[in-house]
């Protein structure tokens, strides 16, 4: 016979209510952000939390045009895609070599050299970076931001790839080599596909931070036709104004791509953060 004590029944209910309260705290600002986009400035000021009296997407159309959204989106997308691809290619090859050669002296030295990058935040060397970018004539190019993103994210990604490669048995590669496959062929046909789980984790973690990076483009992209979504938000919303109707749709357009990505990929994104933490 089992008696459920008072606290046994009580705790789940209280916990559930607590979680509902926390949900409200998270949800209200987001609800407010979205709902204000459909209101006139007057309506937004008088009844901030009510549902809008009418739904019109005109304000979104205006914001879309004013932000040159398709262009800004494309720039953000190119930066993110090429940076993530660059991190994965360089860190998977590098992590693989550093794992298979972890017994050798130079393998150890290079690994420590790269690991040092996890401890130093790159922001402190942004002025040296400015000088490097200048002397390579890459100022005001997407390429500069992409290369910087790759370099910044290499240390952690290499660390993850290097530990993951331990789970791939070397016998597989040996067998393929005996069958006559060359070194690079073995890597790309056998090893690389087996890295899928860690590739997904690195891709998700990097895509989130790179898409939302504001400081990199702020320092290294000056002209409007090359700027990213967040720079468009910054130049338009930067001045506090009570013209709610034009500001709020821009803010929504600023977060919409990643939010949509999150709604679709929620399970994988949370899984990616969990994975990244466990390995790190």
Partner 1 sequence: MRNKLNVYSPYVIMLLPLLVIYSVFYIVPLIYTAIYSFTDWSNYSSAIQFTGLSNYRKILEDNTLFVGVKNSLVYAISTVILQNLIALPVAVLLNSKLKFRNGFRAIFFSPAVLSTLVVGFLWSYMLSSSDYGMLNKLLASFGIGPVNFLGDPDTALTAIILTQVWQWFGWAMVIYLANLQSISEDLYEAASIDGAGRLQQFFSITVPQLAPAIKINLITGMISGLKVFDIVVSLTKGGPGYSTETILTLMFSKFSEGNYGYAASFGIVFLMLSLALAALLLRTFKIWEDRLN
Contacts of partner 1 in 116-155 (CB under 8 A): 117, 119-132, 147-148, 150-152, 154-155
CB within 8 A of 121, min separation 6: which ones? none
91 binds partner 1 (CB under 8 A): yes
Choose between 70 and 128: whose C-beta lies nearer to partner 1.
128
Q: How many residues bind partner 1 (CB under 8 A)?
A: 92
Please list every residue from 24 through 53 that binds partner 1, using CB under 8 A.
Answer: 25-27, 29-30, 32-33, 36, 44-45, 48-49
- Taking CB atoms within 8 Å and a gap of at least 24, the contacts of 142-148 are 142/75, 142/78, 142/79, 142/82, 142/221, 142/226, 144/220, 144/221, 145/79, 145/83, 145/216, 145/217, 145/220, 145/221, 146/78, 146/79, 146/82, 146/83, 146/86, 147/86, 148/122, 148/216, 148/220
Site for partner 1 in 160-179 (CB under 8 A): none
Give the integer Cα–Cα distance in Å for 72 and 85: 20
Span interacting with partner 1, options 21-29, 53-61, 168-176, 192-200, rule CB under 8 A: 21-29
Residue 247 beta carbon to partner 1: minimum distance, rounded to whole angstroms: 8
Rounded to a whole number of angstroms, the minimum distance from the CB of residue 56 to partner 1 is: 20
Considering only 114, 165, 199, 202, the residue that binds partner 1 (CB under 8 A) is 114
d(CA 226, CA 279): 36
SS (HEC) of 39-63:
CCHHHHHHCCCCCCCCCCCHHHHHH
> Residues 46 to 85: which contact partner 1 by CB under 8 A?
48-49
**Shortest separation between residue 178's beta carbon and partner 1, angstroms:** 16
Question: For partner 1, which residue of 175, 189, 264, 277 counts as binding (CB under 8 A)?
Answer: 277
Q: What are 189-193's contacts with CB under 8 Å, separation 24+?
A: 191/96, 191/165, 192/92
By C-beta, is 154 or 195 nearer to partner 1?
Answer: 154
The 180-209 site mask, x for binding partner 1 (CB under 8 A), equals ---xx--x--------------------x-
* Tokens, residue 3: 């008696």
| Interatomic CA distance for residues 54 and 45, integer angstroms | 16
Q: Binding to partner 1 (CB under 8 A): which residues in 207-266? A: 208, 212, 214-215, 218-219, 230, 233-234, 237-238, 240, 242, 244, 247-248, 251, 254-255, 258-259, 261-262, 266
Shortest gap between Cβ of 119 and partner 1 (angstroms)? 6
- Residue 105 CB-density burial (10 A; 0-12 exposed, 13-18 middle, 19+ buried): exposed
Sign for the pseudo-dihedral over CA of 63, 69, 73, 75: negative
Nearer to partner 1 by C-beta: 61 or 270? 270
Nearer to partner 1 by C-beta: 61 or 264? Answer: 264
């Amino acid at each position: 016979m089992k008696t459920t004590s008072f606290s046994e029944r009580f705790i789940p209910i209280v916990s559930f209510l607590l979680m509902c309260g926390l949900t409200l705290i998270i949800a209200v600002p987001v609800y407010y952000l979205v709902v204000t986009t459909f209101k006139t400035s007057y309506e937004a000021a008088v009844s901030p939390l009510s549902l809008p009296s009418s739904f019109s997407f005109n304000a979104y159309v205006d914001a879309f045009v004013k932000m040159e959204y398709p262009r800004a989106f494309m720039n953000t997308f190119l930066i993110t895609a090429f940076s993530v691809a660059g991190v994965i290619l360089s860190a998977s090859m590098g992590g693989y070599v550093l794992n298979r050669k972890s017994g050798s002296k130079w393998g150890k030295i290079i690994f420590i050299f790269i690991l040092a990058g996890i401890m130093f935040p790159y922001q402190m060397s942004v002025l040296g970076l400015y000088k490097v970018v200048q002397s390579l004539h890459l100022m005001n190019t997407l390429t500069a931001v992409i290369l910087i993103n790759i370099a910044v994210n290499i240390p952690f990604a290499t660390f993850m790839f290097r530990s993951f490669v331990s789970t791939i048995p070397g016998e597989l590669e040996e067998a393929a080599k005996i069958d006559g496959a060359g070194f690079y062929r073995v890597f790309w046909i056998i090893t690389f596909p087996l890295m899928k789980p860690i590739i997904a984790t690195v891709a998700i973690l990097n895509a989130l931070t790179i898409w939302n990076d504001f400081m990199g483009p702020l320092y290294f992209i000056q002209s409007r036709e090359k700027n990213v979504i967040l720079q468009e938000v910054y130049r338009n919303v930067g001045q506090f104004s009570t013209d709610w109707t034009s500001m709020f749709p821009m803010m929504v357009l600023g977060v919409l791509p990643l939010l949509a990505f999150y709604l679709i990929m929620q399970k994988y994104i949370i899984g990616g953060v969990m994975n990244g933490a466990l390995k790190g």
